[in-house]
């Protein structure tokens, strides 16, 4: 396989030791174990492919480890789509990206930054880390990116602004392409049961946060190095912030577009007034005719409009009221998709 990739050469083209590490998603203890298995010295380059945060138990500790690793070797930290949503949440809390951050496991990240007052606070070093993330990086023989690259476009023509969304979100045709980009593309973003080495690309998102493993790619020897996910507690998702009496999450203001309807029926356009990881408060749009839902109805729909970022959901109507002549519906989320098209049950 590798001789085919490198044109039959017996010598791998990287002149120093280079590793790439895939999607960590808050799995800090697994990252510690994985790094301990790598041969690292001052000349080593470690490229992180993004998605340090969300869903897992300790996103804060993951970022700390990446920052601290810089004292041992050169570290290149790339942006993942989850960091992009996190930045949206921090800078534009009413944006669609902010809402999708919470609905894609961002509440677990905020729980790690709980300051004890019912709010959250990021150290300045972590803010600087998020703002420093690169969209892609390349060496003489490898091209590193979070999700993938555009088709039919040379790597040396990629632009971190114009091609940003593709680099952070793509799946689809990229994953089935046999295109030769001239360098081996190393990426994550799309979870697989075990890391995959293809003639033109390597996918090292081995689904650690979903119970798989955390993987690194040894670019010099063409090998995958993995550690298994450690057993987790029964709580499937951290909640932020917490009410001391009940596990009730604070709602965030946001104006996300939503289309929803009774299961199997026609859908109507709504917008959110607020949201958390468990539910949405939807308001019908001006000009809507009639009441769409009743208490206890089961509905389904889509949050957001961008095919790359939208979240599908199944929910139950738990509140119906009229505000300023418009009907408002409280929706308890029963299931949502995780960004990979997989359905996840919401915590009780």
For residues 56 and 190, give the distance between their C-alpha atoms in angstroms, rounded to a whole number: 16
Indicate the domain borders of the chain: 2-228, 253-345
For residues 292 and 313, give the distance between their C-alpha atoms in angstroms, rounded to a whole number: 17
Q: What is the pLDDT of residue 18?
A: 97
Residue 246's CB is within 10 A of a number of other CB atoms, namely 6
Q: Are the C-beta atoms of 163 and 174 separated by less than 8 Å?
A: no
| Architecture of the domain delimited by 253-345 | Beta Barrel (2.40)
- Angle CA(26)–CA(187)–CA(110) in degrees, nearest 5? 20
User: Nearest-CA neighbor of 259 among 203, 299, 215, 205?
Assistant: 299
Q: What is the pLDDT of residue 3?
A: 38
Q: Are the C-beta atoms of 101 and 159 separated by less than 8 Å?
A: no
217 sits in which H/E element: strand 213-218
pLDDT in tens, 216-232: 999 999 999 999 998 76
For residues 29 and 35, give the distance between their C-alpha atoms in angstroms, rounded to a whole number: 10
CATH homologous superfamily for the domain 2-228 = Metallo-dependent phosphatases (3.60.21.10)
pLDDT in tens, 32-77: 999 999 999 999 999 999 999 998 889 999 999 999 999 999 999 9
Which residues of the chain register pLDDT less than 50?
1-11, 233-236, 243-247
Domains 2-228 and 253-345 share a fold: no
The reported pTM is 0.86
**Position of tokens 């208490």?**
295
């Amino acid at each position: 396989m590798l001789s085919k990739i490198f044109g039959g050469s017996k010598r791998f083209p990287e002149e120093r030791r280079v590793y790439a590490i895939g999607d960590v998603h808050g799995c800090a203890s697994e990252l510690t174990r994985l790094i301990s298995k790598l041969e690292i010295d001052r000349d080593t380059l470690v490229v992180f492919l993004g998605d340090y945060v969300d869903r897992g138990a300790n996103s804060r500790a993951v970022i700390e480890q990446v920052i601290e690793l810089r004292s041992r070797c050169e570290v290149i930290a790339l942006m993942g789509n989850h960091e992009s949503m996190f930045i949206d949440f921090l800078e534009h809390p009413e944006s669609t990206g902010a809402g999708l951050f919470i609905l894609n496991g961002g509440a677990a990240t905020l729980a790690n930054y709980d300051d004890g007052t019912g709010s959250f606070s990021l150290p300045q070093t972590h803010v600087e880390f998020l703002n420093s993330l690169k969209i892609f990086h390349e060496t003489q023989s490898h091209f590193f990116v979070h999700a993938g690259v555009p088709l039919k476009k040379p790597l040396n023509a990629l632009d971190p602004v114009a091609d940003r969304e593709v680099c952070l979100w793509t799946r689809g045709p990229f994953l089935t392409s046999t295109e030769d980009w001239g360098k081996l593309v190393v990426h994550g973003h799309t979870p697989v049961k075990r890391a995959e080495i293809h003639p033109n690309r390597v996918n090292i998102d081995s689904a650690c946060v979903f119970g798989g493993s955390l993987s690194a790619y040894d670019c010099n020897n063409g090998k995958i190095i993995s550690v298994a996910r450690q057993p987790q507690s029964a709580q499937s998702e951290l909640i932020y912030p917490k009410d001391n009496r009940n596990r009730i999450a604070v709602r965030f203001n946001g104006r996300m577009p939503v289309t929803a309807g009774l299961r199997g029926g026609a859908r109507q356009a709504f917008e959110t007034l607020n949201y958390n990881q468990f539910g949405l408060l939807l308001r019908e749009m001006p000009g809507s005719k009639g009441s769409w839902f009743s208490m206890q109805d089961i509905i389904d729909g889509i949050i957001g409009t961008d095919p790359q970022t939208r979240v599908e959901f199944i929910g139950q109507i738990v509140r119906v009221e009229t505000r300023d002549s418009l009907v408002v519906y409280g929706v308890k989320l029963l299931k949502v998709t995780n960004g990979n098209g997989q359905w996840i049950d919401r915590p009780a």
